[in-house]
Every structure is written in C-alpha cells, then in structure tokens.
Chains A and B, each alone.
Chain A
Amino acid sequence: MPKEISRRSFLKGSLVAACATCASQVPLPASAKTKSGQELATLIDIRKCVGCEACVEACREVNDFKYPVPEKPFPKMYPNRVKVADWSDEDGREVRDRLTPYNWLSIQWATVEVDGEETELSFPRRCMHCQNPPCADLCPWGAARKLENGITVIHSDICLGGKKCQVVCPWDIPQRQTGVGLYLDILPSLAGNGVMYKCDRCYNRIADGEMPACIEECPEDVQIIGPRDEIVAEAHRLAEEEGAYIYGETENGGTNTLYVSPVPFETLNQAISKGPGQPHFDKVEDQMAHADNLAKAMLIAPFAGLAAAVGRVYKASKKLDDKTGEAS
C-alpha cells in the first residue's frame, strides 16, 4: 500500500522529527521491542480449528496472575446509572462462551455451507490488536497503549475502568471488572468503575522469547505468528491458492490479527452469535482516519494563518501609505 506508507512517512517525518529528542528520552519496556522492529501479527486459519478450546484453557492458565482480584463490597456508585460489572464470582469466572475480564479468548461457532455441505466452523476470538488502535489512541488516561511490536495492552494498574476503550473499539473487546484498580484510591463513587481487561497477546511471554499460550497449546496449529508482512503474504497465498477469504488485513485500517476462512466473512458474520463479549465479523472502516487527516491539517493551519495575517498587515500598511501620500 504505497499510499499508506507515503502518508505515514509524511506525518512521521514532519511531526515526529520536531519531538524526536524528547520522545527518545522515554525508555520503552523491553517487551515492546522486537528484534526486527516490525509489528508481529497472527494468522488464524479457521479451516483448521476444531473448537477444542485448548487455546482458551491455555490463555486462562498463563494469564491467571493478571486477572482481577476485586475488593468487596464495591463502592456505591453515584449517579446510580453506573452499573457494577462483576465477573468475579465462581459462575462468572467459569464463563467461556464470551469475552470477560477472566476470559480473554473465546470460541465462536457458525454453521455454514462449505462446498455445498453444511459445516460447523469454530474459531478463536479475542482482541484484533489494531495497527492504529482507537482504544489506545482515545484512552484519556494513557492506560491503553500500543507496543512497538504491534500488541495493544491495557495497564491494569493505571486503568480507571471508564469503558471508553470498549465504546470506541469496533469489536467492543475490552471487558470491565468493578472493584479493582486505581479508581478505588481516587474518587471511587464518582469517577471510574474498575479496570478493563482484554487479550494482551501474552506480551510478557513474547518478551521472554516465548510464544503466546493460545498459539503454543493449539493441537491443530490454527494460529501462526510472525512479522506482519509475512503474515499478510501467507494470507494472500492461502486466498489465491486455496480460495480462502481474509479478514483483518484492512479492517479498521489494518489489524495484527488476520483470519482466513473457507466462506466469505459476510456469511460467517450472519451465522455467529453476536452481542456483548461476542465480536462480529462486519466490515470496519478505519476509525482513526479522520484524526490522521486532521493531523496533516494541523501542520498546514499555521501557514494559512501566516498567509492571512501577512495579507492583512500588507493591506493595512498600503492603506496607511496611501493616506500619507494624499495628506502630503
């Protein structure tokens, strides 16, 4: 996508250069760095998934230490339209058929026709790890952020649980748990409502040179991980050679999770249960495109102001000269 590269080069070259010194003084966590410097993407081949939930169990096991441990009773919320989100009881923790603060990956099922035969497909759903994630861009507190290796994480020790990330996420991925986090130490009844949780693609394991648990434990090798360019190339190969359909390459401007399916994603989208914690497969426009375009306009605006002002000053000076000339 040369246009995309050119746009980024333009913005980065113009804006980042001015602030490079300052930004370079901010150390990045080791987990944010990849050897190649490229973003890592995963490819989920829906055709291989058997729905065994080994990925779900592996995710729950390795991420258990990151799960919320809420303090009860929860603070009374004002106004009372703010609802408690509690998944911490035994039943809540056991939920596996949707995303929750204790279940960052779930299996969706769809009965569709493949090559004239009714087939039941299954596939893991979790955070798409967008290349330009609205959750991280619009988080007012800096709790959600994208790492250099393309993973989007929510820092549970910073998040106030305002749920803005879920509202702006095209797939409504992050899930809230009340009674945990920083908001308890600030204004627990008046601001915040817990912490938002979602897949962090095992960023800590990747930092240690390990694979994300869902990939490592999958008996069918449904997922592969690698530099995004290679993952996209592989998805295209599967599309061309095997007639597969791709999702995630361009959705929301591009994500670091690509799916390949034996049926069009419109068909798949119609066949899955959708709702809270159960993401769709709709087409998604680049939600942050407007911000990128207006960032360019911010560069141009001072020059427009300068041109208008110079014109104004010139006109006023000329008028003054004319008056002086007439007087003399």
Chain B
Amino acid sequence: MKQATAPKVFAEQKFFKPFYFLLLFTMGLTGFGQMPIFKRYYIADIPGLGWLADFYATHYIHYIGAVVLFGFFVYAVVVYFGLMHKQFGLTWAAYVRIALLALISITGIFRVLKNLPDVVFSPLFTMVIDISHLAFMMFLMVFGILFMIKKIGWLDSK
C-alpha cells in the first residue's frame, strides 16, 4: 500500500493568517474610527489609544491599510493559483470571505473616489456606499468569528 505523503507546507500558510488578521483588525478599528464614537465612549481615553479620536490619523492609517490590502490580495491570488491550487482547494467559507472582501473593496474604492477633488456623487449613492461598506465589514467580522468557532479555514487539501 502506497503511503500518503504529507501535503507541502508553503511559507505563505504561516504568515498569511497573522498578517491577514492584523490587517483586517487595523482596517476594522480605523474604519469604525471614522465614526465619532471612540471619544464619545471613552475608548480614546485609554492610554495609548488617544489617536483613535484623531479623524485624520485614523483616515490616514485606513488608507495605508487599503494600499497594503490591495497589494496583499493580488499577491495571495497569484501565489494561490501559481503554487497552491494543485494541492489545496478553497473551502466554502473561503468563498464567503472572498465575496465579502470583494464587496468591501469595491465600496471602499467608491469611497476613495468620492474623496478625490472634483468627484461628486449624489447623497443617496454616498450613503449607500458608506452603509454597505460598514455592513459588509460587520458581516465579515460575524462570519469570521463563526468560521473560527467552527474551525473552517480557507484551504482544503485535495
């Protein structure tokens, strides 16, 4: 009987998870920081968290996070299809995450466009973008926690 060989472990499998978690946490934190809640609810009073009440600081970090995120997404997609897909498939939970991340990114792009000089959207469209960006992020958080409890990761050995 032929002995099953252990699937190859890629370096990305080790650093993707903590990197993705840290990035999403930063984006979530600075994203919520766009609403005037951290000062109101004393969170910015916690030593070391005063910057959460600085709207320009949170906005700047959120944008930097988006830059890193866009680079990271492309890197992850190319590395998955270039190296991993013969050995690993994506779980259904991964598809849910990818769909939500795509929706967050698209609505985020529209929000960035709105902030450019001379780009004008209607109030309704702006509101839809704002609320859906927030809603998709909250869905991602809820699903992320559920998947973590159920221990459903991104990859499945083929």
User: For chain A, what secondary structure do more than half of its interface residues adopt (helix, strand, loop), or is it mixed?
Assistant: helix
B77 neighbours in A (Cβ, 8 Å): 309
A291 neighbours in B (Cβ, 8 Å): 59-60, 63, 112, 115
Docked pose: A146 CA to B121 CA in angstroms = 9
Which of A15, A287, A298, A313 touches B79 (beta carbons < 8 Å)?
A: A313
Docked pose: A105 CA to B55 CA in angstroms = 26
B71 neighbours in A (Cβ, 8 Å): 301-302, 304-305, 308
The answer to whether the Cβ of B67 comes within 8 Å of any Cβ in the partner chain is yes
Contact B78 A309, beta carbon cutoff 8 Å: yes
B78 neighbours in A (Cβ, 8 Å): 305-306, 309-310, 313
- A146 CB to nearest chain B CB (Å): 6
The answer to whether the Cβ of A131 comes within 8 Å of any Cβ in the partner chain is yes
The answer to whether the Cβ of A55 comes within 8 Å of any Cβ in the partner chain is no
B110 neighbours in A (Cβ, 8 Å): 19, 22
What mask results when residues 107 to 131 of chain B are scored 1 for a CB within 8 Å of chain A, else 0? 0011011111111111111110110
Which residue, B36, B59, B63, has most C-beta atoms of chain A within 10 A? B36
The answer to whether the Cβ of A168 comes within 8 Å of any Cβ in the partner chain is yes
Which residue, B64, B117, B124, has most C-beta atoms of chain A within 10 A? B117
B74 neighbours in A (Cβ, 8 Å): 301-303, 305-306, 309
The answer to whether the Cβ of A114 comes within 8 Å of any Cβ in the partner chain is no
The answer to whether the Cβ of B7 comes within 8 Å of any Cβ in the partner chain is no
**How many residues belonging to B are interface residues under a CB distance threshold of 8 Å?**
49
Contact B59 A138, beta carbon cutoff 8 Å: yes
Residues facing B in A112-170 (CB within 8 A) are 131-132, 137-138, 140-143, 145-148, 155, 158, 162-164, 167-168
The answer to whether the Cβ of A312 comes within 8 Å of any Cβ in the partner chain is yes
Contact B112 A15, beta carbon cutoff 8 Å: yes
Docked pose: A290 CA to B57 CA in angstroms = 10
Which of these binds chain B: A25-33, A45-53, A213-221, A261-269?
A: A25-33
Docked pose: A22 CA to B7 CA in angstroms = 45
Contact A138 B118, beta carbon cutoff 8 Å: no
- A228 CB to nearest chain B CB (Å): 11
What mask results when residues 127 to 141 of chain B are scored 1 for a CB within 8 Å of chain A, else 0? 101100000000000
The answer to whether the Cβ of B46 comes within 8 Å of any Cβ in the partner chain is no
The answer to whether the Cβ of A253 comes within 8 Å of any Cβ in the partner chain is yes
The answer to whether the Cβ of B20 comes within 8 Å of any Cβ in the partner chain is no
Docked pose: A34 CA to B83 CA in angstroms = 55
Which of B35, B67, B73, B112 touches A140 (beta carbons < 8 Å)?
A: B35
What mask results when residues 7 to 33 of chain A are scored 1 for a CB within 8 Å of chain B, else 0? 010011001101100110011110010
The answer to whether the Cβ of B41 comes within 8 Å of any Cβ in the partner chain is yes
User: For chain B, what secondary structure do more than half of its interface residues adopt (helix, strand, loop), or is it mixed?
Assistant: helix
Find the A residue at minimum CB distance from B125.
Answer: A26
A168 neighbours in B (Cβ, 8 Å): 55-56
Docked pose: A304 CA to B70 CA in angstroms = 9
Which of A11, A12, A305 touches B72 (beta carbons < 8 Å)?
A: A305
Docked pose: A11 CA to B113 CA in angstroms = 9
Given the known interface contacts A8-B118, A79-B40, the answer about A309 and B79 at a Cβ–Cβ threshold of 8 Å is: yes
- A67 CB to nearest chain B CB (Å): 20
Contact B117 A253, beta carbon cutoff 8 Å: yes
The answer to whether the Cβ of B18 comes within 8 Å of any Cβ in the partner chain is no
Contact B112 A298, beta carbon cutoff 8 Å: yes
Find the A residue at minimum CB distance from B130.
Answer: A142
Q: Which 6 A-B pairs have the closest CB atoms?
A: A142-B126, A309-B78, A313-B82, A305-B74, A305-B71, A294-B63
Can you list 21 A-B contacts with CB-CB less than 8 angstroms, sorted by A residue number? A8-B116, A8-B117, A23-B121, A23-B125, A29-B122, A81-B42, A137-B114, A138-B59, A146-B120, A158-B127, A294-B67, A295-B63, A295-B115, A295-B116, A297-B67, A301-B70, A302-B73, A312-B79, A313-B79, A316-B82, A316-B83
Residues of A within 8 A of B (CB): 8, 11-12, 15-16, 18-19, 22-23, 26-29, 32, 79, 81-82, 131-132, 137-138, 140-143, 145-148, 155, 158, 162-164, 167-168, 191, 253, 287-288, 290-292, 294-295, 297-298, 301-306, 308-310, 312-313, 316-317
Known: A12-B116, A298-B109, A310-B82. 4 other contacts (CB 8 A): A12-B119, A145-B121, A168-B56, A303-B74
